[in-house]
Structure 1
């Protein structure tokens, strides 16, 4: 035989954890926090923050209701519009997820770059470089400087070996473009105010501080406002193309639904 729970029993199972006026926040409404967070201490902290946030929101609503006269019909219309917009958004997102090819191939990226390269403009200096930081007393300094001064790297293996065995810090990904500011951070070059002239006049930049010597073999550089190389904007273009695919999928979905509804006489337009 089915037994109805009394109001007292329901209150015990789902007690009020906070209240503002006649608005109550019950235990069941914050259960998702403990179910999603495994660490007890984190769960308690997050629960407390959620309760405080709920209280602040309710107080603001209460104060707003006292201060401003709201048009209930207009408020309900906006809530309904928001609800429908959220439903459509979730539907479109699920459709894109189920139908989108997440891979953008190199041919697509290169084509977009060639057609739109004038729209890309560097906001900072970028370089392809080799970087080495050695103690000034290290006996390999002369050998390293000689190798880096050569027009072409005559012995890349020797460079890598010096980097591994003797450098305090190094960067040898010379085929990768990198922000110049990122490579010179924490070196004496960071305070140099004429970086453009420095790059234009030096293939090998050598600077010292009290303890270390820093070597920058500049293989290639691009200045601010110049068009960046494809490799530097490849990820950005990939994101642009993915977004275009998402937009196209949503637009086609809307067209298909409209056409199907039109064919099935699911809507009418009255004069």
Structure 2
């Protein structure tokens, strides 16, 4: 399947993560003294940096038992020490341009601010309703983008213990070729160990047979082509698969199978359009109000 179109705003996530990482690291190196610090017990110390008991209390507040709290506190202390050692080593050994680091930190900060601003605007203006007509139009125009990489099927699947009196009934119903969904469902609910009877839903074939003797079948394509009713046994169970329809690898899947994926693509396109619209509105407003100048 070709690469999907994703919201370019998501690219800012890497900036956001790095900005937060730098922020946390830098914040760990500084701690503003509070009025009650003199009563706060130091639990770990490295150079001028101190870890206080009040910080551990906040970390372990949601632990359910004292052993859990103690284990979490110990792991946090070890993590804090390792991080402080890395900060000290980086400061001593690293050859850094402080002005360049500050510029990058500002860039990350501004990227985060812009990301949150755009996200808020998009959340307020995004129309999340996608019609079936829009989905069909996108599907018809981009069918080659949805080539299957695995087999999908519509089927009735029943797993039942071997040797029960119900095996013969299920076998007879499934072999009859007549639609008797109610009869299959009643038997499955009462007697089956597992079943899947959503016969209008397309699913991945491997997801259905993963815990059956069929999973390692050497030729699943031939299996589907030659059998409308597949039956397999292991030591304890019999597995029935009534194949209603299938699509093979390298074929185009039915629209229903990719409907959710197409919906997300359309919504992402709308998000991109809104982000672009916001940028243009702000830029055009700045031009109209003569808020910036460009010098030759």
Residue correspondence of structure 1 range 10-49 to structure 2 within 5 A = 10-12=36-38, 18-25=44-51, 33=59, 37=62, 39=64, 49=75
Is 1:150 the counterpart of 2:164? The answer is: no
Is 1:130 the counterpart of 2:156? The answer is: yes
SS at 1:215's partner residue? strand
- TM-score relative to the length of structure 2: 0.79
Q: Distance in 1 between matches of 2:54 and 2:268?
A: 38
Unmatched 5+ stretches in structure 2: 1-32
Aligned partner of 2:289 among 241, 264, 267 = 264
Q: Distance in 1 between matches of 2:72 and 2:135?
A: 43
Q: Distance in 2 between matches of 1:112 and 1:44?
A: 55
Q: Say if 1:20 and 1:270 are closer, same or farther in 2 by CA, change over 3 A.
A: farther
Residue correspondence of structure 1 range 94-105 to structure 2 within 5 A = 94-105=120-131
Q: CA deviation at 1:45?
A: 5.4
Answer with 16-25 or 176-185: which moved more. Answer: 16-25
Q: Say if 1:62 and 1:32 are closer, same or farther in 2 by CA, change over 3 A.
A: same
Q: Say if 1:209 and 1:150 are closer, same or farther in 2 by CA, change over 3 A.
A: same
CA deviations over 1:235-264 (Å, ceiling 9, x no partner)? 111221221111111111111011111111
2:232 corresponds in structure 1 to: 207
- TM-score relative to the length of structure 1: 0.86
SS at 1:189's partner residue? coil
1:65 corresponds in structure 2 to: 91
Is 1:84 the counterpart of 2:107? The answer is: no
SS at 2:214's partner residue? helix
CA RMSD of aligned residues (A): 2.5
2:251 corresponds in structure 1 to: 226
Q: Could you say which structure has the greater relative contact order, defined with CA pairs below 8 angstroms and 6 or more residues apart?
A: 2
SS at 2:224's partner residue? helix
Q: CA deviation at 1:49?
A: 4.4
Number of corresponding residues: 263
